Amino acid sequence: MDSAEIRSRFLRFFADRGHTPVPSASLLLDDPTLLFVNAGMVPFKPYFLGEAPAPYDRATSVQKCVRTLDIDEVGKTTRHASFFQMAGNFSFGDYFKEGAIPFAWELLTSSEADGGYGFPEDRLWATVYDDDDEALDIWHRVVGVPLERIQRRDAKDNYWSMGVPGPGGPCSEIYYDRGPEHGKEGGPVADEDRYLEVWNLVFMQDELSAVRSKTDFDVRQPLPAKNIDTGMGLERMAALLQGVDNIYEIDTTKMILDRAVALSGARYGAGSRDDDVRLRVVADHARTVAFLMQDGVLPGNEGRGYVLRRILRRVVRNMRLLGSNDPVMGELISASVDAMGPQYPELVDDLGRLVSIAENEEAVFAETLRTGTTLFDTAVADLQRKGGTTLAGDAAFALHDTFGFPIDLTLEMAAEKGIEVDQDGFRRLMTEQRDRAKADAKARKAGLTPLTVYKDVMDAAGITAFTGYDEVVSEATLRGILVDGEDVRSAREGTSVEVVLDRSPFYAEGGGQLADAGLITLADGSVVEIADVQQPVPGLYVHRGRVVSGEAVVGQAAVGRVDLERRRAISRAHTATHLVHKAFRDALGETATQMGSENSPGRFRFDFPLSGAVPASVMADVEARVNDVLAEDLAVTAEIMSQEQARAAGAMALFGEKYGDKVRVVSVGDWARELCGGTHAQRSGQVGLVKFLSEGSIGTGVRRVEALVGTDAYRFLAREHLLVAQLAEIVKARPEELPERVDAILTKLKDAEREIAKVRSASLVANLEGILGNAQEVGQVRLWTFTAPDGTDAGGLRELVTKGRDAARQEIPSVVLGAAISDGKVSVVVATNAAGRAAGASANSVLQAALAAVGGRGGGKDDMAQGGGTDVTGVQAAFAAAAGAVRAAVGA
């Protein structure tokens, strides 16, 4: 049974039993405690926590998940994966244990002909929490599982909580006995490799007041509504139903693994165990990379971007260890899309963008590997010169942490040179880094205002009715006040507050649109000035501001007034963003889909994927097309419809956004149509004018356009017109002649600068011997290192280094390295003569060692190489590193 069929059977089984099928949410949810969705229940957290009412009593889903805590175990075991799919059925105060247990048993044991998975009943075991007699009784009395195949386990294995105060409850897990060839007898408590967990049933029945650890917690009281959360790992189920040994050999993952085999020439299952592990890592990680990028993550140095970069680089590194030195990411992403596209067609639609981003990141990493290799060689040469045999842990850690050089490659290259690596020291530093990261995450989580506070306010105040689509002034009642995270009854003048109304015209920040601002006037004349509005839990509008007069008291009648000019300016910007989005997709293709935006008063920014800069002609065409649409004065309308209706109407959806069953579709005439919850102009003509300010890169494969809208755009163009008039007066030319006149002036200036440079260069060359100074003897090589006089540019430095090399005696191996400091930056040039190259010295290798000390980059060939850096204090260290590189190259 293939994975797609396993998935569809699960959803169909529960849909037939009254569960609403819910599509997989994005891997990126608005949850400050999670980088990625890591469990099937995460999208339903607001319903389990009571932060929002569930739109259904029963639901079922197959949720894509990413976990990276055990990333180093991927490929080594049969059960660790960074990407997986979790099938689940959920009950929100509907059925409980008496429903969940029989459902699971029926699906597992029903024949394939009857829509089940066909497991033999006598191969299935169940576990229950120590004191959960109720679950045990259902398993034995209702389902009919013999008591000897039901085992009790403690809280470590069979109690679930979120790790914080809130809902919790016992678990019941279902295990499949794979047979004596996989381990010893005795059930799951004896051997979890032989007895493989296939399903976990969580019975949320307790409200926890404190959670000190997984096994140490306090139960405050029973939950008023008992819930069901279950999880069946789709990949693990596929391994069992397809008769393979592990999750890396199921149909979908094996497709990617086979592509890696073809690219690398390695053999799977018939070669070394190390190669098998590497191929499994590649197959798992390539799929993870594809899904993360499809949901809008881009390689970077922080947060989600850093995780993606690390996973992608693990793919490239393992492919290199398997013997493939050619670019591979494009092929592996294509294989991942081939494997998962039938279940997630959005991957197929986005293939071009995914391949482009992955290939760009692979090219960047290739340069990192080259630099890391040079630094490694320098460190080893220094170690051997001192008579050492073990590379220090901090040196290996610096290569890994600072330069992104994988520890596996460090170990392999060290072994080739006959030296050891202090792995204990490396692991200690890695552990310290992880501990710091965990502490930071814990502090970040602890620093948040607890969502339970907002939940309590919403329990008392109710959901806020948003009236801002139809009005900007609304009568309301003040339902709640928070001061410093504490729920209070009143707040005096000068106090910073968070205010909750039962009805609000204020738009809460979301979808790239900044929040409204304005005033809340109370019945007694007191005034609260609002600067920001947020939705910390769905449905609760929290108005953040300050009491500027009188005293705010819960229960008072109030009137909310939105700052109308700000609202209109933001709305114009938001409508303009929709038009720019449509125009860029028309000009560049469907992959130019919005990945982020900010709509603020009079201006907006718009991010979208593209491998290179947008041509100036395209920028001009898009700007002109948008302004043409504005002049057409098209009606802007909003409709509520189902997701299916929205897709049929051609509405665009955005990366990483979460949409409900019913969506709001904003249309600008028949030209642009997009899912959106924001506020907009009533007609396109009200936007007035759009003027692009800039276009540039904000990360690998992502461009950002910034623009002005309406009167802000007009004022900008007025200033530009004035500037053009002033320039025309200065150069005595008509405005249309300015480009030609300015070009002529600049040409004359450049000619003069070249003449000055020639005179300066001649002066420097004439004083070459004094600049070069004395050579350093490094073995049989003479090494000159010098800092050029102030004001020497990169061209002058190159000439000095070239002249210095040519002036050296050609029969003596020689290397010349020069550095020049200008405008807070360092230029570095290295040249070698033929004798130096014959002795083993390479200009590019010496340059890479030197650049590492000045935070730079560059390259070249064996005879000449150049680059630059930003750390002007590292020049002497660069000279020392260069000497070390020469020493290592010639074996001195």
Residues marked as binding for Zn(2+)? 574, 578, 676, 680
Question: CA 447, 449, 451 angle in degrees (round to 5)?
Answer: 130
449: left (phi over 0), alpha (psi -120 to 50) or beta: beta
Amino acid present at 271: G
Query: DSSP string of 640-707?
Result: EEEHHHHHHTT-B--TT----SEEEEEEETTTEEEE--S---SBGGGG--EEEEEEEEEETTEEEEEE
Show the 3-state SS of 159-188: EEECCCCEEEEEEEEEEEECCHHHCCCCCC
Contact call for residues 236 and 79 (beta carbons, < 8 A): yes
Contact call for residues 250 and 239 (beta carbons, < 8 A): yes
Phi then psi for 658, rounded to 5 degrees? -105, 125
Closest residue by Cα to residue 867 from 805, 794, 802: 794
636: left (phi over 0), alpha (psi -120 to 50) or beta: beta
Strand-pair category, 527-534 with 496-501: unpaired
List residues bridging with 831 in a β-sheet: 816, 864
Query: DSSP string of 323-344?
Result: T--S--HHHHHHHHHHHHTTT-
Binding residues: 574, 578, 676, 680
Please say whether the dihedral angle defined by the alpha carbons of residues 190, 193, 196 and 202, taken in this order, is positive or negative: positive
Q: Is 583 exposed, middle or buried (0-12, 13-18, 19+ CB in 10 A)?
A: buried
Give the single-character DSSP code of 510.
Answer: B
List residues bridging with 702 in a β-sheet: 609, 699
Amino acid present at 91: S
250's tokens: 């199921």
Give the single-character DSSP code of 138.
Answer: I
| SS3 call for 490 | strand
377's tokens: 């060689």
Largest Cα separation within the chain, whole Å, is 101
Q: Which residues of 274-284 are buried (b: 16+ CB within 10 A; e: fewer)?
A: ebbbbbbbbbb
As a whole number of angstroms, the distance between CA 875 and CA 881 comes to: 10
Query: DSSP string of 630-645?
Result: HHHT-BEEEEEEEHHH
Strand-pair category, 390-391 with 195-211: unpaired
Q: Is 91 exposed, middle or buried (0-12, 13-18, 19+ CB in 10 A)?
A: buried
Strand-pair category, 557-562 with 596-600: unpaired
As a whole number of angstroms, the distance between CA 598 and CA 577 comes to: 9
851's tokens: 């650049």
Give the single-character DSSP code of 268.
Answer: S
Which contacts (CB < 8 Å, 24+ apart) does range 386-390 have? 388/419, 389/418, 389/419, 389/420, 390/419, 390/420, 390/421, 390/422
Closest residue by Cα to residue 233 from 106, 340, 382, 87: 87
Q: Where are the alpha helices (DSSP H) in 732-874?
A: 738-766, 768-772, 794-807, 834-838, 843-853
